[in-house]
Chain A
């Protein structure tokens, strides 16, 4: 039931989003560290995050966190509840739908001030 099916793709995405989020976390710790050097340094750096391409990437970051979190819940539920494993396909569908239901509206709110101000 596993190899080549939906669970495998979610597993690959879980690893990829995990590594991606950790990569951003390192960058984020570095940029927050600059706040200790004073306002000039910190506010200078923020130009990076303010340009439109980065705002779109920021939305993808939110997507990575949402997917990783929701898929993580799915794995935990199946780890501790055998009945869930019997309905694994339904769980995959719920995970994907829940992800888009939260991610797409968040894109509207995050990107509206960037492109329609």
Chain B
């Protein structure tokens, strides 16, 4: 069919412009040629591979080996006593959030065509994204356990 193109098919630089051929043979997004979109394309794939490790290990530890019955304030306090776990969680937060926000950015360009609504949606996305990134980073970096509440039972 008409989608029989190589993955190296170049696209117009501006994602707002009409794209004639939207899909490659593989069904994925064609590798874009503009600087930012090309960066975004690689970022998806690199952060995705990293997330496969970080997110699946996170799920394995927090949802299979442990579960919500044992995850309490004390559990978090003990876990975040180690700077290694704080670094791990911060890395997971940044990777997952930027990967997800980039995904919504692509969805907005795909489904919202009116310029005004698109600008509005992108503005909301970046505002909410930066807010949640700061909230998440703040609690991971500045958390201090209340010692009277984590006394041994």
Q: What is the interface of chain A, defined by CB distance below 8 A to chain B?
A: 1-3, 7-8, 10-11, 15, 18-19, 21-22, 25-26, 29-30, 32-33, 35-36, 38-40, 42-43, 46, 49-50, 55, 58, 62, 65-66, 69, 72-73, 75-76, 78-80, 82, 84-85, 88, 106, 109-110, 113
Contacts and interface: CB of A to CB of B under 8 A. Distances in A.
Contacts of B45: 72, 76, 79
B73 to A, nearest CB: 4
A49 B69 CA distance: 9
A36 B63 contact: no
A79 B26 contact: yes
Nearest to A78: B26
Contacts of A35: 73, 76, 139, 143
B27 A76 contact: no
Contacts of A110: 63-64, 67
Interface stretch (B12-20, B32-40, B92-100, B115-123): B92-100
Given A29-B135, A75-B26, A43 B1 contact: no
Contacts of B82: none
Given A2-B23, A26-B132, A50-B69, A42 B52 contact: no
Interface residues of B, number: 50
Contact of B135 (A33, A65, A85, A106): A33
Contacts, number: 129
B28 A78 contact: yes
Which 8 A-B residue pairs are closest in the complex by CB-CB distance?
A78-B26, A22-B100, A39-B73, A39-B149, A7-B27, A29-B136, A75-B28, A49-B68
Contacts of B48: 69, 72, 76
30 contacts: A1-B1, A1-B3, A3-B1, A15-B107, A18-B100, A22-B100, A26-B128, A29-B132, A29-B135, A32-B136, A35-B143, A36-B138, A38-B146, A42-B73, A43-B72, A43-B73, A49-B68, A50-B69, A62-B63, A65-B59, A72-B45, A78-B7, A78-B28, A79-B24, A79-B28, A82-B6, A82-B7, A88-B25, A106-B64, A109-B64
Contact of A18 (B25, B52, B76, B103): B103
Contact of A79 (B7, B67, B96, B149): B7
A77 B84 CA distance: 32
A113 B132 CA distance: 32
B56 interface: yes
Contacts of B52: 69, 72-73
